Structure 1
Amino acid sequence: MVLKLARESAGLSQERFAEVMDCGVATVQGWESGRRQLSAVSLVQLNRIGRTLLRLRASAEVVALLPVSIEADLILAGATDPWTAGLEQHPLNGGVIDLRITELVTWALSGAAPRFIDRLRPKTRRGPSPSRPEIGASDRQRIQANLLELSEYETGAEAGVLLRRQACFLAGLSGLDAPARLSTRASRYLVSSDSWSPSWADARSYVVSRAYRGDPEPLRAFIASAHPSDDCESAALNYTAYWVGDLSDREGDDSFMVRRGQRWRGARMYPHLVERLVDEHPLIDLNIHNLWLLLRSQRGLVIDDQATTDLLLGRIEALVDSGRVSRQSRVELRSIAEGLSDLRIR
């Protein structure tokens, strides 16, 4: 689907794209329908596809998603059937997923279109054409059932936490009704803890999943109790920076969250969080808390990105008066407002 959108963004027909790629139209049709897996092409061929599309003025944003979409495909394939090759080799255990991968996976599972779709020029389509990646009903049911099973995977080793928490997170975003269990190790972060461990990330994914299912209270308890130390606060910011792309290197496990010397400015994180300061967002309290942490460490963002700051000012007042956010969130919003006032006075 991403390849198709990239081709269409350049105004190319399948026939024309096949011509410039020096392949048959059936090959292009197979790539775009999924009959020929794009993950099966060589890295050289994939790079050639991307370079050709860019040369023909396809959307650079969509072309950059081609390798990301392959990873999303592998995750969906890994969740379609019970995994028998050893859980350490599962696609959800091979790296920390980010916003782009997550949006593509949930697009296929729930139909919620990624944000880049809105930025593409509408195209005139000939005949029936799917508007999202298509998964059969039986496959979707198997994926959902397996995600729930993986999200309850009990492990005594930290290496298995990544698999568990990412399956739990995707299950929540996909709107699955059955709640996963919280691991014993992660449960202490809903009470109190003064240090970070991979179980912190496990607890975070659990409460985020619950919030997406309409239950914000575990998330609020996590925010109130799981950030008492510098390393937990750093983990919250580093993870969000990674999530939105302020940290560009891919990570194989969650240890990067407390790695010293991480360098990021927050230029993507700041508008990402402010745009999501709407009371109907299921993670509104987490967005407020992360924004509060961010502006304590990167105060210059409010000056460097004035458009986002103006949007923030307009949303703070409405949210403070809203009954949809927690008491802690209202306190943090007032603290942000005071900080903005101090900067304006100076």
Structure 2
Amino acid sequence: MSVSSDTVAGWESGRRALTAVPVGQMLAYRHRLMRLGASPALLQAFERALEADVLLASALEENTTAAANPLGFMVMQRDLIEVLAWPLGGQEPEHLRSLPSPPRPRRGPSPAGPELTATDRTHFFNKMRRAAEAARGDAHFLLRRQALYLAGFDDQEDTRDWLAQRAERPSDWLSNWLNFRSVAMVSARHGDPDRLAYFIDTALSDDAGEAANLNYWANWLGETPLQLSDDFIAAPAVGPWPGHKLLDHLANGLNPEHGYIDLNIHSVWSLLQIRPNLLRSGVAARTVHDRLAMLLDRRRRTARPPLPSPAARGRAGRGRAGRRRPGKALGAGCRWRTRVGPSMCMSGLLVGGEMVLQATDGSFSARCVDLPIKAYQELITRR
């Protein structure tokens, strides 16, 4: 590296500010690390860590105005937020958990991750609350939203109630939708799933809400370019992003212990209706396929079916009431629900030529080849 071991130790401990190194010299260090075989994923996280350090330092400054606060300059994505939240009590970033252990331990005692003192954490959260309260009006909505999100990492008992009380009721649809989502997600993180359930039932009940939900997810996971405002979320249709990262993320969150599982399940259904080809290959597709029984059962218990797009409704050949017409073949990724007796309904999802069926009372499940709907009804009746 052409630097002394004392300099490196100072960077590791924070005694020397790495962000004080000139940009050109920092790029030279990065190239040397590449030549020495450093992990590309770790180098990418290194860039985000430098940016997070600047954001933390700015947040801890006393005289940062709303106009100069960097939290209002861009829509932050997951790779930055996870590194930023790590020393605030968040978990280790997901893309770092699978990295191999270093070949040699660091010198002396060292923490498992970046740390802030208890005083600095308290100061940071107080600053986030003040920034959110001071950021009024449309011009500072992005700053307010992201400050509220970061304030949600505070483990104080009053955090959830404070967030609910500070949620504005703006007149425009997008700001109201984003406020609703932020409060619901923070409440779920603090152990209250009811707000998230209500958000799914109401804010995701039409095509606009479904498109906003998927556009939000896609940007959060880096499937879209960096955005300077939230306007892209309110686009009338889902963007042209591919969806592979999104399906992979949602599939990994299909765990009954996951705090956001209901939103993840709802988002999987919505995503597969507009991107059915995602089920044809890949680890995420296999994960979804393996957990279909759990998905269908939880969808039955939560009773929150997402609305398909008009195009999907047309391809599926649905009638006016939203049910399948007898004799029509099902399209890939299409969900189906029908009554097969006086007291039993069946629901299913077509995946790769297979129909996974689930009785709403849990008494029957099966996997069948792709057949017209009438054949399924006859098969279930015989069963």
* Pairwise same-fold verdict (TM > 0.5): yes
Q: Does 1:106 align with 2:106?
A: no
Helix, strand or coil at the partner of 1:287: helix
Q: Which runs of 5+ in 2 are unaligned?
A: 309-332, 337-346, 355-368, 371-383
1:145: which partner in 2?
A: 126
Q: Pick from 38, 48, 62 the counterpart of residue 28 of structure 2.
A: 48
After TM superposition, give the deviation of residue 208 of structure 1 in Å: 0.7
Q: Is the 8 A contact 2:208 2:234 kept in 1?
A: yes
Compared CA separation, residues 196 and 227, structure 1 to 2 (3 A) = farther
Q: Is the 8 A contact 1:285 1:329 kept in 2?
A: no
Question: Of Structure 1 and Structure 2, which has the larger fraction of its residues in helix?
Answer: 1
After TM superposition, give the deviation of residue 131 of structure 1 in Å: 0.9
After TM superposition, give the deviation of residue 262 of structure 1 in Å: 3.4
Q: TM-score, normalization: structure 1?
A: 0.80
1:251: which partner in 2?
A: 227
After TM superposition, give the deviation of residue 290 of structure 1 in Å: 1.4
Compared CA separation, residues 238 and 95, structure 1 to 2 (3 A) = same
Distance (whole Å) between structure 2 residues aligned to residue 324 and residue 343 of structure 1: 23
Q: Is the 8 A contact 1:235 1:257 kept in 2?
A: yes
1:217: which partner in 2?
A: 194
Q: Considering only aligned residues, what root-mean-square deviation do their CA atoms show, in Å?
A: 3.0
Compared CA separation, residues 279 and 153, structure 1 to 2 (3 A) = farther
Distance (whole Å) between structure 2 residues aligned to residue 231 and residue 322 of structure 1: 24
2:255: which partner in 1?
A: 278
Helix, strand or coil at the partner of 1:112: coil
1:14: which partner in 2?
A: none
Distance (whole Å) between structure 2 residues aligned to residue 201 and residue 90 of structure 1: 20
Instruction: Tell which deviates more after alignment, 122-131 or 216-225.
Output: 122-131
Q: Pick from 153, 167, 183 the counterpart of residue 167 of structure 2.
A: 183
After TM superposition, give the deviation of residue 299 of structure 1 in Å: 0.3
Could you list the per-position Cα deviations for residues 211-259 of structure 1 after superposition, in whole angstroms to 9, with x for gaps in the alignment? 1111111111112111344343222111111111212x21121112234
Q: TM-score, normalization: structure 2?
A: 0.73
Q: Percent identity?
A: 32
After TM superposition, give the deviation of residue 303 of structure 1 in Å: 0.3
Could you list the per-position Cα deviations for residues 193-212 of structure 1 after superposition, in whole angstroms to 9, with x for gaps in the alignment? xx842332222112111111
Helix, strand or coil at the partner of 1:89: coil
Distance (whole Å) between structure 2 residues aligned to residue 328 and residue 103 of structure 1: 30
Amino acid at match of 1:134: E
Q: Pick from 237, 241, 251 the counterpart of residue 264 of structure 1.
A: 241
Compared CA separation, residues 325 and 61, structure 1 to 2 (3 A) = farther
Q: Pick from 261, 279, 290 the counterpart of residue 314 of structure 1.
A: 290
Helix, strand or coil at the partner of 1:129: coil
Compared CA separation, residues 236 and 141, structure 1 to 2 (3 A) = same
After TM superposition, give the deviation of residue 266 of structure 1 in Å: 0.6
2:360: which partner in 1?
A: none
Distance (whole Å) between structure 2 residues aligned to residue 89 and residue 324 of structure 1: 48
Could you list the per-position Cα deviations for residues 153-176 of structure 1 after superposition, in whole angstroms to 9, with x for gaps in the alignment? 461x22222112212222224434
2:108: which partner in 1?
A: 127
After TM superposition, give the deviation of residue 88 of structure 1 in Å: 2.1
Distance (whole Å) between structure 1 residues aligned to residue 86 and residue 226 of structure 2: 22
Distance (whole Å) between structure 2 residues aligned to residue 289 and residue 224 of structure 1: 10
After TM superposition, give the deviation of residue 261 of structure 1 in Å: 8.3
Q: Which runs of 5+ in 1 are unaligned?
A: 1-16, 189-194
After TM superposition, give the deviation of residue 74 of structure 1 in Å: 2.3
Compare relative contact order (CA 8 Å, sep 6+) and give the higher one, 1 or 2: 1
Distance (whole Å) between structure 2 residues aligned to residue 280 and residue 36 of structure 1: 41
After TM superposition, give the deviation of residue 325 of structure 1 in Å: 6.9
Aligned length: 315
After TM superposition, give the deviation of residue 98 of structure 1 in Å: 1.2
2:151: which partner in 1?
A: 171
Q: Is the 8 A contact 2:269 2:306 kept in 1?
A: no
Q: Pick from 34, 37, 41 the counterpart of residue 57 of structure 1.
A: 37
Instruction: Tell which deviates more after alignment, 26-35 or 47-56.
Output: 26-35
Helix, strand or coil at the partner of 1:280: coil
Compared CA separation, residues 85 and 144, structure 1 to 2 (3 A) = closer
Amino acid at match of 1:184: E
